Amino acid sequence: MNDIIYSIGDFFESIFELIPPFGNYVNYAFMIVIFLFLVIWTYKMFVHKQKGQEHASE
């Protein structure tokens, strides 16, 4: 059982060694994607309000 747990630990350790070269670029990509979705969502809310469709269930 210890061999399995240590194997999993070694696997994740090797993956985590690959992360530092990416730096914060992944975080910046997530921030851009979330910001874009927020802008699109807000735009769609304004369009629905202009059409008088505030609630989709109606």
Task: At 4, list the tokens.
Answer: 């399995």
Q: For the chain, which residues make up each domain, given as ranges? A: 24-58
For 4-56, the pLDDT digits (tens) are 999 999 999 999 888 888 889 989 999 999 999 999 999 999 998 888 876 65
Confidence (pTM): 0.58
**What pLDDT, on a 0 to 100 scale, did the predictor assign at position 26?**
87
Quickly list DSSP for 23-52: TTHHHHHHHHHHHHHHHHHHHHHHHHHHTT
